[in-house]
Amino acid sequence: MKIISVVGARPNFMKIAPFAKAVKAYNRQHLTENIEHLLVHTGQHYDDRMSKKFFEELGIPDADINLGVGSGTHAEQVGQTMILFEKVLKDEKPDWVVVVGDVNATLACSVTAKKEWIKCCHIEAGLRSGDLKMPEEINRLVTDRLSDLLLTPDRLSNENLYREGVPDSKIKFVGNIMIDTLESNRAKAADLDLWSIIECNLHEEKNISIKDRDSVSDKHIAVITLHRPSNVDTDEVLEPLVNFLVQDVCKTMPLLWPIHPRAEKRLKEFGFWQKILDIPNLILLKPLGYHAMLRLNMAARIMLTDSGGLQEECTVLGTPCLTLRWNTERPVTLREHGGASVLVGNSVERIRKEYLNLLTGVCKPLRPELWDGHTAERCLDAIINFKN
Ligand code: UD1
* pLDDT bracket for residue 213 (50, 70, 90): confident
Q: Is 229 in the pocket of ligand 1 (CB under 6 A)?
A: no
Q: Is 245 in the pocket of ligand 1 (CB under 6 A)?
A: no
Which residues are part of the catalytic machinery? 227
For residue 388, the tally of other CB atoms under 10 A from its CB is 5
Q: Is 101 in the pocket of ligand 1 (CB under 6 A)?
A: no
CA of 233 to the centre of ligand 1 (A): 13
Which residue's CA is the closest to the ligand 1 atom numbered 22? Answer: 261
Percent helix, strand and coil across the chain, each to the nearest 5? 50, 15, 35
Which residue's CA is the closest to the ligand 1 atom numbered 18? Answer: 47
Question: pLDDT tens digits, residue range 115-144?
Answer: 999 999 999 999 999 999 999 999 999 999
Side-by-side strand order, sheet with 119-123? 65-66, 36-41, 2-7, 96-100, 119-123, 149-152, 171-173
Question: pLDDT tens digits, residue range 48-59?
Answer: 999 999 999 999
* Ligand 1 closest atom vs CA 46: 23
Cα–Cα distance measured from residue 384 to residue 364, given in angstroms and rounded to the nearest whole number? 37
Cα–Cα distance measured from residue 377 to residue 174, given in angstroms and rounded to the nearest whole number? 9
- pLDDT over 90 for what percent of the chain? 94
CA of 10 to the centre of ligand 1 (A): 8
What is the per-residue pLDDT for 214? 82
Which residue's CA is the closest to the ligand 1 atom numbered 21? Answer: 45
CATH number of 2-176+372-384: 3.40.50.2000
For residue 191, the tally of other CB atoms under 10 A from its CB is 9
Q: Tally the C-alpha atoms within 13 A of residue 298's C-alpha that lie toward its C-beta.
A: 18
CATH 3.40.50.2000 occupies which residues in the chain? 2-176+372-384, 183-360
Q: Is 106 in the pocket of ligand 1 (CB under 6 A)?
A: no
* pLDDT bracket for residue 333 (50, 70, 90): very high
CATH topology of domain 183-360: Rossmann fold (3.40.50)
Computed over every residue of the chain, the mean pLDDT equals 96
Q: Is 349 in the pocket of ligand 1 (CB under 6 A)?
A: no
Residue 387 CA to chain centroid, in angstroms? 30
Q: Tally the C-alpha atoms within 13 A of residue 99's C-alpha that lie toward its C-beta.
A: 33
Write the CB contacts of 43 (distance below 8 Å, at least 6 apart in sequence).
8, 66, 67, 68, 69, 70
Q: Is 262 in the pocket of ligand 1 (CB under 6 A)?
A: yes
- Residue whose C-alpha is closest to residue 232's, from 178, 194, 203, 272: 272
What is the per-residue pLDDT for 299? 97
Over residues 318-330, the mean pLDDT reads 96
CA of 215 to the centre of ligand 1 (A): 32
Residue 280 reports pLDDT greater than 90: no
What is the per-residue pLDDT for 322? 97
- Record the pTM: 0.97
